[in-house]
Structure 1
Amino acid sequence: IGNIVGTIAGAAIGNALTAPRQEQIEEDAYIPEVREVRVQKYKKQPQVQPPISQLKLRKIRFIDDNRSHVIDAGENSKIIFEIMNEGRNPVYNVVPVVETVGKVKHLGISPSVMIEEILPGEGIRYTASIHAGERLKDGEVTFRVAVADENGVICDSQEFTLPTQRGN
């Protein structure tokens, strides 16, 4: 009997992991109005040749737990976006960047994870997790979403602003 129960439970868990739940969640996503940001370099070194990579950001979406499009104190949310390689060569060691513009207290963003390779004409979907602390104040926060190539050169950068709200 234990074997049968284990098999049924395992099948249910396996099905849950492979079911395309992600798309349903994203239907409720808020698509913020983004602003293009002038591309800049992290490192202050002269660039001899233009970057060979053509990394572009697409489909930036914001999803908060209660779907209010406001970051509430104590709430978890996500910024989801795609990084596309529109060039002719693979790009390596791509770093997605999600940060706040200016100093914002009581807001945590998951650290960036380097992507080893994006082939030409392909892309990846990246999700950054955001947690608002219990002491978040009323106001607004501007997020910068960017992508850097293996040399630390920002290839594309966009910003958007969301309201924040203190807890009750």
Structure 2
Amino acid sequence: MKKIFIYSACAILLSGCGTMDEFTRSIFATQTGAAIGNVAGSIIGENVGGYKGSFIGSMVGTAAGAMIGASIVARSQANNEREKDYNSSPSPHLDIRDIRLQDENWNRVVDADENCVLIFEIYNDGEKAAFDVKPILKGVEGTQKLNYSRPLVIDRIKPGEGVLYKVNLSASSDVRSGDAIFEIHLEERNGFGTPREEFTIRTQEK
């Protein structure tokens, strides 16, 4: 029962500090912690040593509670500072550019039974490196007869640099003439990916 009271009081201490400035939070936490420690120490001391134990327990509890209260605020402030640093720090900015098709007969169309390469450039225009960058290519319409290689993960793209990325692409013998619509986007380890965008390539039946 005593443990439940102490934990509940700590929750009140943390919630009460949320709307105060740093200086006020520190005073409030120290005073509240001292009060909690006083009560808890008095109860424990009385159970152990009667009135004298209650007095000593309340004194010790007051000092310990004040230290705990100050410690809670210090940890809370440190967490807030780390969150601010993370949110305000520079980040990578990825961009997909110049999507193009390289085919065997150079007609810029994926013909039946033809092996091609889909090429695009990935740039990092941000101020930090991007890690574990993964291009995600998905067929949207007219791609049922096309086969393309699985994506490879790029370990790192430094700020101001880019990489040339290639995807093997081929058409089956029964591909039909028309437009093949693809969707592409990038995923990045820390969440700095790109939105989905579509592009179209032509297919040609025999």
Q: Distance in 1 between matches of 2:164 and 2:133?
A: 12
Aligned residue in 2 for 1:66: 105
Equivalence map 1:49-88=2 (5 Å): 52-88=91-127
Shift of 1:75: 0.5
Q: Distance in 2 between matches of 1:81 and 1:104?
A: 19
- Percent of aligned pairs sharing the same letter: 34
Greater strand percent: which structure?
Answer: 1
Distance 1:152 1:88, change over 3 A: closer
5+ residue gaps, structure 1, are 1-48
Contact 2:92/2:192, CA 8 A, preserved across alignment: no
The TM-score, its normalising length taken from structure 1, stands at: 0.63
Q: Distance in 2 between matches of 1:139 and 1:125?
A: 27
Aligned residue in 2 for 1:121: 160
Q: Which has the greater radius of gyration?
A: 2
Equivalence map 1:12-23=2 (5 Å): none
Does 2:147 match 1:108?
A: yes
Q: Distance in 1 between matches of 2:195 and 2:96?
A: 6
Give the count of matched residue pairs.
119
Q: CA RMSD in A?
A: 2.3
Q: Relative contact order (C-alpha < 8 Å, sep 6+): which is higher?
A: 1
Shift of 1:52: 3.2
Contact 1:147/1:154, CA 8 A, preserved across alignment: yes
Shift of 1:74: 0.3
5+ residue gaps, structure 2, are 1-86
Contact 1:64/1:70, CA 8 A, preserved across alignment: yes
Following TM superposition, where does structure 1 have runs of at least 4 consecutive aligned residues deviating by more than 6 angstroms?
A: none
